[in-house]
Amino acid sequence: MAKVTLEKLADRIIRLTPEESEELSLILRAKLMPEKARQQGLLQQQQPITQQQAAMGQRPGGNIPMPNARMAAQQGLLRW
C-alpha cells in the first residue's frame, strides 16, 4: 500500500511546474530548518576532545622522523 502511495507522490512531484517546485522547495527547507538547528546545537554540546583522543593516530614516541636510506644503512636496517 505504501509503495503505491509513494509512487503516486513521486509522479506528482515530477509533474510539478517550476513555480510549484520552487514553492515545494521553500516548504521543505522551512520544515527542515528546526532539525538542522537541533543538530547544530547537539554538535556544539559535544564534550571537548580528551588528551587521549587527541593522541589517536600519533606515533607513541612523539615526532620521530621516518628514516631515509642513509639513516637506515647507518643503523644496519638496510641490506645492500
Cβ neighbors of 63 (< 8 A, separation 6 or more) are none
For the chain, count helices (H), then strands (E): 4, 0
Instruction: Compute the average pLDDT of residues 55-68.
Output: 71
Instruction: Compute the average pLDDT of residues 16-35.
Output: 88
User: Which residue's entry shows cell 517546485?
Assistant: 21
pTM of the model: 0.42
Q: Is the pLDDT of residue 12 over 90?
A: yes
**23 versus 59: which is more confidently predicted?**
23
Q: Is the pLDDT of residue 44 over 70?
A: no
Classify burial at 25, counting beta carbons within 10 Å of its beta carbon; exposed 0-12, middle 13-18, buried 19 or more.
Answer: exposed
Instruction: Compute the average pLDDT of residues 6-30.
Output: 91
